[in-house]
Amino acid sequence: MMAKMKKAQSQTPAVESQSPAPVAPQPGQLQRRRMPRWAWLLLVVVVAGGLFLIPGGQREDLDVAAEFDLHPLVKIPAIGPIDLSITKGVVYLWIATAVLVVAAIVISRSLKPTPSRFQFAMESLYGLVREGIVNSVMKSGGDTWFPYIASVFFFVLTSNFVGLIPLPFAEHNQFGFYAATANLYVTIGLALFTFVFTHYAGIKKHGFFRYVKSWVPSSAPPVLKQLIFVIHVVSEFFRLVSLSVRLFANMLAGHAILGVFFAMALIFQNYLAALVLQGGSVFIYMFEIFVAFIQAFIFAILSAVYIGGALEQEH
């Protein structure tokens, strides 16, 4: 205690000398000498140089794009044009469904007044979807459409997160990364749900002709009305494309970048490069977690915007 106070007093002057003054040893205490700064620098240079110069291992061929190929795991003969064999994508979809269903059952059976951490996380996500997405965006049909928006949010979130866990479904049963939502067919299926529900909600509320008439402003010359109608129809279909491609391309690009970073740590057969790139891989992995959450949120909130827009259109 006395040695510490003395050291604090001797370090308060603004000018810090290159090598700090040695502390006078108290009787019965070990004398500790701080390593001067140049010694730390020399140690770092020696370690880095040594890691750089150690010869690396055998070069392997790393194919990043092969992660996205779908080979059938269990071959089931096709019915007509539909190939029913179970591939990696199918298994990942089942895993996401199973995780969601089990988590929901577990949580709903064990709700406590003082929430556990898992219950608190689930309640936060529920509050986010309820307040942040449905109640803040959809003016009228919030209660009717909340189950769909929440299902889509949780399913996309779970699929994206499961895609960040290495599971043994790659070739030859190796461990590999794959996201179910990195498959265009899966995201088109999800976007089709939103598309169909948008028009179903609009037609159910307004009737078919009034809904279609609400796409064009009523006070416009007929030629302009036809043009606006065509543009609106094209933009409705483009919403389908953009919703699906946004999620698909984000997950695909994220996994490709992850694959490249992980592979780069092995390509230069050099321990120093591997160490540095391993650190970079951790950061890009954290960014991918953020992107996974954001993409689920954006899919859900855009679905809510489209459905809410169809429900309230009164041009």
Partner 1 sequence: MDAEAAKLIGAGIAMGAGAVGPGIGLGILLGKAYESMARQPEISGDIRTSMFIGIGVTEAVALYAFVVALILIFVA
Query: Which stretch, 101-109, 149-157, 222-230, 294-302, contacts partner 1 (CB under 8 A)?
Result: 294-302
Tell me how far, at minimum, the Cβ of 91 lies from partner 1, in Å: 23
- Complex with partner 1: residue 262 or 297, whichever CB lies closer: 297
Count the Cβ atoms, other than its own, within 10 Å of residue 80.
Answer: 6
Confirm or reject binding of residue 198 to partner 1 (CB under 8 A): no
Confirm or reject binding of residue 295 to partner 1 (CB under 8 A): yes
Tell me how far, at minimum, the Cβ of 9 lies from partner 1, in Å: 43
- Complex with partner 1: residue 95 or 157, whichever CB lies closer: 157
How would you label 249-281 residue by residue, b for 16+ Cβ within 10 Å and e otherwise? ebbbebbebbbebbebbbeeebbbbbebbeeeb
Tell me how far, at minimum, the Cβ of 205 lies from partner 1, in Å: 24
Within positions 57 to 86, which residues make up the interface with partner 1, using CB under 8 A? 65
Greatest extent of the chain over all pairs of C-alpha atoms, in Å: 101
How many residues bind to partner 1 according to rule CB under 8 A? 18
Cβ-Cβ contacts under 8 Å for 15 (sequence gap 6 or more): none
Within positions 234 to 263, which residues make up the interface with partner 1, using CB under 8 A? 242, 245-246, 248-250, 252-253
Residue from 301, 307, 310, 311 binding partner 1 (CB under 8 A): 301
Confirm or reject binding of residue 303 to partner 1 (CB under 8 A): no
Tell me how far, at minimum, the Cβ of 133 lies from partner 1, in Å: 9
Within positions 108 to 147, which residues make up the interface with partner 1, using CB under 8 A? 132, 136
- Name the site residues for partner 1 (rule: CB under 8 A): 65, 132, 136, 242, 245-246, 248-250, 252-253, 294-295, 297-298, 301-302, 305
